Amino acid sequence: MTLKRRHALALLGGTLLARPALAQTREFIDSAKRKISLPAQVSRVFVAGPPASVLAYVLAREAMVGWIRQPSPAEKEFLAASARYLPETGRLTGRGDTVSLERLLAAKPDLVLDFGSTTDTYISLADRVQSQTGIPYVLIDGRFANTGQSLKLAAGMLGRQQRGAALAAYADKTFATVDEVIARVPADKRPRVYLARGPEGLETGARGSINTEIIERVGAINVVEGLGGRGNIATASLEQIIAWQPDVVVTMDRAFFESVKSKPGWDQVRAVKEGKVFLAPSLPWGWIDAPPSLNRLIGLRWLLQAFHPAEARLDLRADTRAFYDLFYGVAPSDAQLDRLLGER
C-alpha cells in the first residue's frame, strides 16, 4: 500500500494499524498548530522527505532510523561516520513517495518528522498517517526566513535544546551578516542572476520560488519573469535568457557548467561571455537547494562572497569548515575544501 501524496487519504482509509499507546507522553504543538502526544524521550526518528533528512541529521543523527535514499559515496565523504550506512527507508512526501504503512511500522519510530510546507495537503496527510499508525507525525515550518525559530522548535521536540540553540544562533547570525552586507551594496550594483538547472540549463526557478529564494535573499535580482506563476519551477528558452542578459549564471549541474561555453548560442549571454558562471557546491547536499533545507545556510555565505566580494570580505574556507563541523560533524581537509570551493 504505497503512500502517494495525492492519493494518500484514499489509500489509508482501511484497517486501523495503530500501535499501543505509550505510557509516558508529553504534549507538543508543531508548526501547523497541531497538538501531538510524543514519547517522553525520542530515540527513533523517521524522516518524511529530503528536507527533513537534513534537519534530523544536524539535530539528532543518532536517532535517525534511515535515509530516504542511500547517500552516494561522494556524499558519504562529508557525513559523520555513524550516519553513513543507515538503511534506506524511502519517502512519505513529494515526488516518488515509496513508503508503505507496513514498512513505516516495521521501522518502529517514535515519530515521523517532516520539514517544509505546512499547508492543508501536508496537514491532512500527517493527520491520517498518525491516525492509522499511532505514530506521532510532526510538521516543522521549512520557510527559509523562519530557520532559527524552526530549529529551536524541532530541537525542543527531539529533546536537543542545547544543540538547537547553537544551530539557531548560527542561522540568525548568518541572516544578520547577509543584511549587513546587502545594506552596503547600492541597488544599481546588485547582480541580475539566472539560476540554470539541469544539463541544458533551461530549467529554472521563477521569482519567489523555493528554489531561487536564496539568490533573492542575498540581494540579487532573479531575471526570470513571465514564466508560469510565482513560486513555480519553469522552463526557459535560450532566446529568453539572451533577452534577460543576466550578469551572473548560477548552476548546480556540473555537466552544464563544463559545457556551457561550447553550447550553441550561450556565448550571447553576458554572464557566459564574461566568465561569470558559478557552479554551486553540492556535497553532501546542495548549497542552493536540493533539498531546500538547512544546507542553504552555507550557500548564503557562498553567494554573498560570489556576488558582493568587496563588501562581504568573507573567509569562505574558514566559514565552510566551521559550518561543516557544527552542522555535519565533519571537518573538511584542505583538499576537500579545494574540491568544494574550487569551481567557478
Phi-psi region at 190: left, alpha or beta (left = phi > 0; alpha = psi -120 to 50): beta
Assigned domain for 252 exists:
yes
How far is the C-alpha of 276 from the C-alpha of 114, rounded, in Å? 37
What pLDDT, on a 0 to 100 scale, did the predictor assign at position 68?
94
Per the prediction, the chain carries an average pLDDT of 91
Q: Out of 51-60, 229-238, 271-280, which region has the weakest mean confidence (pLDDT)?
A: 229-238
C-alpha Rg value of the chain to the nearest Å: 21
Confidence band for 234, pLDDT divided at 50, 70 and 90: confident
User: Residue 88 belongs to what domain range?
Assistant: 5-174
pLDDT in tens, 84-133: 999 999 989 876 667 888 899 999 999 999 999 999 999 999 999 999 99
Angle between helices 161-183 and 50-60 (to 10 degrees): 120
The pLDDT assigned to 208 comes to: 83
Q: What is the pLDDT of residues 6-25, one digit of tens each?
A: 334 333 444 444 454 445 88
- Bridge partners, 27 (sequence order): 37
Given 114, 148, 174, the domain boundary residue is: 174
Of residues 290 and 59, more confidence is placed in: 59
- Span 311-339, average pLDDT: 97
Give the domain CATH number at 311.
3.40.50.1980
pLDDT at 228: 65
Per-residue pLDDT band at 31 (split at 50, 70, 90) = very high
Q: What is the pLDDT of residue 101?
A: 84
The predicted pLDDT at position 225 comes to 84
Count of structural domains, the chain: 2
Q: Which of 141, 174, 207 is the last residue of a domain?
A: 174
Residue 48: how many other CB atoms lie within 10 Å: 30
User: Do 215 and 80 sit in the same domain of this protein?
Assistant: no
For the chain, give the number of residues: 344
Q: How confident is the model over 177-185, as a mean pLDDT? A: 97
Please report whether residue 22 resides in a domain. Answer: yes
- In the structure, what pLDDT confidence band is assigned to residue 344 with cuts at 50, 70 and 90? very low
Give, in order, the Cα–Cα distances in Å from 297 to each of 80, 141, 182. 19, 16, 16
Mean pLDDT, rounded, for 204-229:
88
Is the domain of 221 the same as that of 137? no
Contacts of 338 (CB under 8 A, 6+ apart): none
**What strand order describes the sheet that includes 192-196?**
221-222, 192-196, 248-251, 277-279
Give the range among 54-63, 175-184, 226-235 with minimum mean pLDDT: 226-235
Look at 15-19, 177-181, 205-209, 231-235 and tell me which has the smallest mean pLDDT. 15-19
Q: Residues with Cβ < 8 Å from 77, sequence gap 6 or more?
A: 283, 284, 336
3-state secondary structure the chain: CECCHHHHHHHCCCCCCCCCCCCCEEEEECCCCCEEEEECCCCCEEECCHHHHHHHHHHHHHHECCECCCCCHHHHCCCCHHHCCCCECCCCCCCCCCCEHHHHHHCCCCEEEEEECCCHHHHHHHHHHHHHHCCCEEEEECCHHHHHHHHHHHHHHHCCHHHHHHHHHHHHHHHHHHHHHHHCCCHHHCCEEEEEECCCCCEEECCCCCCCHHHHHCCCEECCCCCCCCCCEEECCHHHHHHHCCCEEEECCHHHHHHHHHCCCHHHCHHHHCCCEEECCCCCCCCCCCCCCCCHHHHHHHHHHHHCHHHHCCCHHHHHHHHHHHHHCCCCCHHHHHHHHCCC
What pLDDT, in 10s, does the model give residues 32-48? 999 999 999 999 999 99
Distance CA 161, CA 106 (A): 29
Phi, psi of 140 (to 5 degrees): -115, 130
User: Residue 194's beta-bridge partner residues?
Assistant: 249
Do 157 and 193 share a structural domain? no
pLDDT on residue 233: 80
Q: Please check whether residue 255 lies inside any domain of the structure.
A: yes
Lowest mean pLDDT among 5-9, 162-166, 187-191, 236-240: 5-9
Q: Which of 174, 194, 211 is the last residue of a domain?
A: 174
Residue 44 lies in a domain: yes
273 has pLDDT over 60:
yes
The band of 2, judged by pLDDT with boundaries at 50, 70 and 90, is very low
